[in-house]
Chains A and B, each alone.
Chain A
């Protein structure tokens, strides 16, 4: 009797979560079926069922000669470089949020927050046209510099092949800083008031409060976000790099996603792009587990 009720109880509980399991299966596991395309010579409109099986040919073609290997390595280097930069500075939104909440003048704070959040809603294409009108040879910046007599001929900011990673990071930060700070601001709001009060009673200065109360309470949020960011380490998107790419910065701007796009979608071969994106998934899984391990080591608890 007791066993029976336990069982019906667990079935009921299973039913509670089953809708989510179904969703997960549909949206997370079913797409994995698409990986089979990597093993066929698929060319629409010939359906997959009639496409010849080619085994690992597309994987081999990625590394079949030195030029391609060099290209792939450069692309991976760019991906790691730019993702690495943004992870290296991933604490920036957190610090920004802390300082923002420290601003006591409400109007000014709201103003700063709005101004920094707004760029997040501008598409990259528009950001580029903004960049173009500012930094092209006829742009505002060159106009200004030549008017005050600093330069004779225009500086070609957009064609510059130096410091591409850093400029890209600056653009991305400008665009997302305010938006990413929102979660941290929410986290700060939820810190127990009594902690502050206790700190002030103990005579803590403002910086000490930040250091010993605010910062520690934000670390869990930070680590969760960091992990999410690392899991999508290789997915640093392509819109930004797509709009900013040109012949001169291509070597340093081409990240994996853009490479897949330029290579496979440009040429219309799905199979190769699937092959590359499979490799991407593998690397991501490895990275995810290593961060989880790191978290276990540092904080004594895993995230997953």
Chain B
């Protein structure tokens, strides 16, 4: 269940980013949309020597997918025409976590596998993953990334991969550098509605109590949305809680402490200090205290403990929430149109924060592409995977069709067409020659890629991600952004935080952290349950005495549940991350 939520969260996140991306793209760019079939599906010829005459159906076990069934629509037609391949996608997000357990227990998970690192770790020793070392060598595009990306990733699984073979390719690999952060805003940072913030006189926020006062003022001045819905300054939700309370976890990042994936009992800062969650001085406790204080001031949505994420997203869409933190949460309300009126959610820095931010996913983002050891036509699957990492494959995946979604400008860059700006949100019908159907319906349901859109397109020298095309940035200069830029004297929040020394960018580490023994698994699950439960109670405690008493109870009870054993495992993992980060910086 937990992984399921995590998956759902990741896909939501992706969806959120895409929304945002689409929203930013709603620009005034009025290029004459040119629907002439430019680069059609037959532009590149598939690798010679492979027989494509027989149709091939690939069973894809895909943790990232939130769609189950055959890939249809324009993307389906594209790969059918190109490779004579049909993708049959199995999605644990749709079918449930048991799918992995039952299929893996039966010995054959599928042909193409998109799985978590920890699952890879279980499957290699079980002999269910094909060795790709030699096959990758002969590919046109993937081979370029072997030395910098794939080899180090696979080599990290030393205990189960002593010979350094290549079993799997990480997902969403960026091609920037292990210490670069390319996005315009940190993943978690304080975000508020710009117009409301201006409405209370744009007070400077020095710390969390200033933040609470500002929220209080905003709430008093703007108690209801224009259509009469109550405004809740802070809203929390429980369905993404995993090892600890997720809403607490991500606010800890503002003050430099992150809880690495794969651990649940500690937090880590950029210097490599490891602090157990239940330490009296932990950031986890400080954030709990912040939420508690906020609740005492009437700032926390009373529905928080009983609502789910869907309810929250509704509130975000209605602009009922004053404090946001995930970068993609802005996309629920912000649009270009509102932006021109200076209306939208923007980063409002708090002076005493010092954000910890993971760099671009140079080594990938936690999942891998692998091929099942029982796959029948591995060469054709490799060929397909190679295409996924090619400029053509990446452009189709991220941006759709040239001439339909985007077009070339005079200076050889790309620019979204009018159709392309809204094709995702509006699910615009795709011309029949491309396969028909809605654009969004027909997108790749793999829902993940090997190389990410933070890879530079050799043809334009810009990222594949159309959010970062110069044409998009130009079109996106709304009142909201220009006002913000003037106020903070920076082009983007990331730039502001960097200028003012308020952010630490740490290398994004994607590696094997070892899987839990069933004993640790049990203890972890019980502890997590307990920690989450008490955390929620602390935030909604009646008074400080109850808050303190719950904390004391938490500290002593988790020990009885096996805290020290789990903490030992997590500490080892955190130390590994610290070491790998140091290596990554040193090798820069």
Binding site for B on A (CB under 8 A): 41-47, 61, 65-68, 132, 136-138, 153-154, 156, 158-159, 246-248, 250, 261-269, 271-272
Give the shortest distance, in Å, between B310 (CB) and chain A (any CB): 9
Q: List 24 A-B contacts (CB under 8 A).
A: A42-B518, A43-B122, A43-B518, A44-B102, A44-B104, A44-B122, A45-B109, A45-B123, A61-B519, A65-B561, A68-B526, A137-B303, A153-B302, A246-B306, A246-B536, A247-B534, A247-B536, A247-B537, A248-B536, A250-B533, A266-B528, A266-B529, A267-B2, A268-B525
- 5 smallest A-B Cβ distances: which pairs? A267-B525, A247-B536, A67-B560, A45-B104, A158-B306
Chain B contacts with A in 259-309, Cβ cutoff 8 A:
301-303, 305-307
The docked-state distance in angstroms from the alpha carbon of A138 to that of B560 is 40
The count of residues in chain B whose C-beta lies closer than 8 Å to any C-beta of chain A is: 46
> Is there a chain A Cβ closer than 8 Å to B101's Cβ?
yes
> Is there a chain A Cβ closer than 8 Å to B557's Cβ?
yes
> Is there a chain A Cβ closer than 8 Å to B238's Cβ?
yes
* B540-575 to A contact mask, C-beta < 8 Å, 1/0: 100000000000000001001100000000000000
The docked-state distance in angstroms from the alpha carbon of A223 to that of B368 is 57
Chain B contacts with A in 130-166, Cβ cutoff 8 A:
none
| Contact across chains for B522 and A263 when beta carbons are under 8 A apart | yes
> Is there a chain A Cβ closer than 8 Å to B532's Cβ?
yes
| Contact across chains for B122 and A46 when beta carbons are under 8 A apart | yes
Beyond the given pairs A41-B518, A61-B522, 19 more chain A to chain B contacts, judged by CB atoms under 8 angstroms and listed by A's residue number, are: A44-B101, A44-B122, A65-B561, A138-B303, A246-B536, A247-B238, A247-B536, A247-B540, A248-B536, A265-B1, A266-B525, A266-B529, A267-B2, A268-B521, A268-B525, A269-B518, A269-B521, A269-B522, A271-B518
The docked-state distance in angstroms from the alpha carbon of A268 to that of B122 is 13
| Contact across chains for B123 and A136 when beta carbons are under 8 A apart | no
The docked-state distance in angstroms from the alpha carbon of A61 to that of B3 is 24
Count, A-B residue pairs, CB within 8 A: 109
| Contact across chains for B529 and A248 when beta carbons are under 8 A apart | no
Chain B residues, CB < 8 A from A267: 2, 521-522, 524-526
| Contact across chains for B306 and A263 when beta carbons are under 8 A apart | no
| Contact across chains for B305 and A247 when beta carbons are under 8 A apart | yes
| Contact across chains for B306 and A45 when beta carbons are under 8 A apart | no
- Could you say which of A47, A65, A156 contacts B105, with CB atoms under 8 Å apart? A47
Q: Which residue of A lies closest to B304 (CB)?
A: A159
Give the shortest distance, in Å, between B565 (CB) and chain A (any CB): 12
Give the shortest distance, in Å, between A41 (CB) and chain B (any CB): 5
| Contact across chains for B307 and A136 when beta carbons are under 8 A apart | yes
The docked-state distance in angstroms from the alpha carbon of A154 to that of B302 is 8
> Is there a chain A Cβ closer than 8 Å to B218's Cβ?
no
| Contact across chains for B104 and A272 when beta carbons are under 8 A apart | no
| Contact across chains for B560 and A68 when beta carbons are under 8 A apart | yes
- Could you say which of B238, B306, B557 contacts A132, with CB atoms under 8 Å apart? B306
The docked-state distance in angstroms from the alpha carbon of A256 to that of B466 is 51
Chain A residues, CB < 8 A from B2: 266-267
Q: Which residue of B lies closest to A153 (CB)?
A: B302
Q: Which residue of A lies closest to B229 (CB)?
A: A138
Chain B contacts with A in 492-535, Cβ cutoff 8 A:
517-519, 521-522, 524-526, 528-529, 532-535
The docked-state distance in angstroms from the alpha carbon of A138 to that of B311 is 12
Chain A residues, CB < 8 A from B305: 158-159, 246-248
The docked-state distance in angstroms from the alpha carbon of A43 to that of B2 is 17
Chain A residues, CB < 8 A from B435: none
| Contact across chains for A45 and B105 when beta carbons are under 8 A apart | yes
Give the shortest distance, in Å, between A63 (CB) and chain B (any CB): 12
The docked-state distance in angstroms from the alpha carbon of A158 to that of B540 is 14
Residue in A247, A250, A271, A272 whose Cβ sees the most chain B Cβ within 10 Å: A247
Q: Which residue of A lies closest to B556 (CB)?
A: A67
Give the shortest distance, in Å, between B560 (CB) and chain A (any CB): 3
Chain B residues, CB < 8 A from A265: 1
Give the shortest distance, in Å, between A192 (CB) and chain B (any CB): 51
Give the shortest distance, in Å, between A156 (CB) and chain B (any CB): 6
Chain B residues, CB < 8 A from A247: 238, 305, 532-537, 540
| Contact across chains for A45 and B536 when beta carbons are under 8 A apart | no
The docked-state distance in angstroms from the alpha carbon of A264 to that of B536 is 22
Chain A residues, CB < 8 A from B102: 44
> Is there a chain A Cβ closer than 8 Å to B200's Cβ?
no
Chain B residues, CB < 8 A from A42: 518
| Contact across chains for A262 and B302 when beta carbons are under 8 A apart | no
Q: Which residue of B lies closest to A40 (CB)?
A: B518
Chain A residues, CB < 8 A from B104: 44-45
Chain B contacts with A in 83-125, Cβ cutoff 8 A:
97, 100-102, 104-105, 107, 109, 122-123, 125
Chain B residues, CB < 8 A from A153: 302
Give the shortest distance, in Å, between B188 (CB) and chain A (any CB): 22
Q: A45-B123, A247-B537, A271-B518 are in contact. Are A136 and B525 (CB under 8 A)?
A: no
Give the shortest distance, in Å, between B245 (CB) and chain A (any CB): 9
Q: A137-B302, A154-B302 are in contact. Are A266 and B518 (CB under 8 A)?
A: no
The docked-state distance in angstroms from the alpha carbon of A46 to that of B125 is 9
Chain B contacts with A in 355-405, Cβ cutoff 8 A:
none
Q: Which residue of B lies closest to A261 (CB)?
A: B1
| Contact across chains for B561 and A68 when beta carbons are under 8 A apart | yes
> Is there a chain A Cβ closer than 8 Å to B128's Cβ?
yes
Chain B residues, CB < 8 A from A137: 301-303
Q: Which residue of B lies closest to A250 (CB)?
A: B533
Give the shortest distance, in Å, between B384 (CB) and chain A (any CB): 25
| Contact across chains for B533 and A263 when beta carbons are under 8 A apart | no
Q: Which residue of A lies closest to B532 (CB)?
A: A247
> Is there a chain A Cβ closer than 8 Å to B491's Cβ?
no
The docked-state distance in angstroms from the alpha carbon of A246 to that of B306 is 6
> Is there a chain A Cβ closer than 8 Å to B230's Cβ?
yes
- Could you say which of A47, A263, A268 contacts B526, with CB atoms under 8 Å apart? A263
